Amino acid sequence: MSVRILALVGSLRAGSHNRQLAETAVKHAPAGVEITLYEGLAEVPFYNEDIDVEGSVPEAAARLRATAGQVDGFLLFSPEYNGTMPAVLKNAIDWLSRPYGAGAISGKPVAVVGTAFGQYGGVWAQDDARKAAGVAGASVLEDVKFSIPGSVTRFADTHPSDDNEVVAGLTEVIQQLSQATPAAA
The pLDDT profile of the chain, 185 residues, written as one tens digit per residue, is 799 999 999 999 989 999 999 999 999 999 999 999 999 999 999 999 999 999 999 999 999 999 999 999 999 999 999 999 999 999 999 999 999 889 999 999 999 999 999 998 999 999 999 999 999 999 999 999 999 999 999 999 999 999 999 999 999 999 999 999 987 76
Its pTM stands at 0.97
Burial class (CB in 10 A: 0-12, 13-18, 19+), 135: exposed
Domain ranges of the chain: 3-184
- Predicted pLDDT of residue 49: 95
Q: Which candidate, 10, 75, 72, 30, places its Cα nearest to that of 168? A: 30
> What is the fold of 3-184?
Rossmann fold (3.40.50)
